[in-house]
Amino acid sequence: MRDFIMRLDWPLLIILCLTLGLAPFTPPHIVEKLQMLSQETLKRPLDWFDLFFHGIPWLLLATKAIYAIRTLYLPK
């Protein structure tokens, strides 16, 4: 899995985050779903799917950033 994430290009992940991760843009869907999650009102399966679907680009970007930082400071 690590190799797959490290092969993803930075520009691709950033574009995914700015388009799919934030769509629709007013207000960003991921923000609404995270607010629903914090308020414990995320109940319907569609809401969970939306959180997962709009959150995947952000998770991939964060994971790639963590791996990149770890390889800089903790070489094998």
> Per-domain residue ranges for the chain?
2-68
Taking 70 as the threshold, does the pLDDT of residue 76 lie above it? Answer: no
In the chain, what percentage of residues exceed pLDDT 70?
97
**Rounded Cα distance, 33 and 52, in Å:** 9
Whole-model pTM: value is 0.84
Q: Can you name the residues that pair with 25 across neighbouring β-strands?
A: 28
Confidence of residue 55 (pLDDT cuts 50, 70, 90): very high
**Rounded Cα distance, 67 and 4, in Å:** 12
Q: What is the pLDDT of residues 9-23, one digit of tens each?
A: 999 999 999 998 888
